[in-house]
Amino acid sequence: MYTVCVRDHFMIAHSLKGDVFGPAERLHGATYVVDVEFRRGELDDAGIVVDIGRATHLLEHVLADLDYRNLDDAPELEGANTTTEFLARLIFERLGARIASGELGQSARALESLRVCLHESHVAWAAFEGRLPVAPS
Catalog residues that contact a copy of itself under the rule CB under 8 A: 1-9, 11-14, 18, 20-24, 26-33, 43, 45-49, 51-54, 56, 67-70, 73, 80-81, 83-86, 88-89, 117, 120-130
- How far the first Cα of the chain sits from its last, in Å, is 28
Q: How far is the CB of 63 from a copy of itself (least distance, A)?
A: 12
Who's near 18: CB < 8 A, 6+ residues apart?
25, 81
Compare residues 97 and 125 and give the one whose CB is closer to a copy of itself. Answer: 125
Q: Cα(8)–Cα(120) distance, rounded to whole angstroms?
A: 13
| Contact (Cβ atoms closer than 8 angstroms) between residue 40 and residue 110 | yes
Q: How far is the CB of 54 from a copy of itself (least distance, A)?
A: 8
Q: How far is the CB of 93 from a copy of itself (least distance, A)?
A: 13
